[in-house]
Amino acid sequence: MAGIAFPRKRLRRNFTAETIAKRSRAFEQFLSHLHSIAEIRRSPEFLEFFFLQDLRAAQRLTCTGMYREALATWANAYRLQDRLGVCGSGRFLLTLAGLAVCHQELDELGEAHSCCEQALQLLEAQDSHPLLGPFLQAHVHLAWKVGKDKRRSEARLQGLQEAGLPLQQQPSLKECLIKEPLE
């Protein structure tokens, strides 16, 4: 940390463009340094510092039916998680669920379908993830609406049902999204 020095605060001129630019660069250096330490880079606290507030805000907006605003916030959380390389986490799947739900509510069915497909690729090797059934059901519904192939998702749903998963009692993707606690 010795190589990182934040510009000192002054009695005046703390909000000049030059001072703000210097402090921004120093903060970026600080974050880059933290990101270079593997233990910190992988810690949930470090990662969630960047996107947890967006997830909470997006969830709140989705719950209140403000889908256009929620979509922008989910999209920002998606970009941050993508850049941080945490696309395999549960939070990323929740983000894809948020994007899918908002796109669907806004009648952007092709985009909603794409989000479901991306989530199902991430869940390819998992048969017990709580979002798997809801993503599969949403994918089948959306594929039917946009005229895409749904046979693979239907077959996977049938396999889950034969394995004993009560699909009729599964919450929808929207219900999962609304009920997910984001602490």
Phi, psi at residue 170, to the nearest 5°?
-70, 135
Kindly report the pTM of this predicted structure. Answer: 0.80
pLDDT of residue 14: 72
| CB 143, CB 135: distance < 8 Å | no
pLDDT of residue 7: 65
Q: How far is CA 140 from the centre of its chain?
A: 21
- What pLDDT band is residue 4 in, cutting at 50, 70 and 90? low
CA 175/CA 17 separation, integer angstroms: 45
Helix (H/G/I), strand (E/B), else coil: 54: helix
CA 102/CA 99 separation, integer angstroms: 5
Q: Sign of the C-alpha dihedral, residues 146, 158, 177, 88?
A: negative
CA 138/CA 151 separation, integer angstroms: 13
At 3, the amino acid letter reads G
Domains and CATH numbers, the chain: 47-179 (1.25.40.10)
Q: Which residue has the higher pLDDT, 20 or 1?
A: 20
Among residues 62, 50, 86, the alpha carbon closest in space to that of 176 is found at 62
pLDDT of residue 31: 76
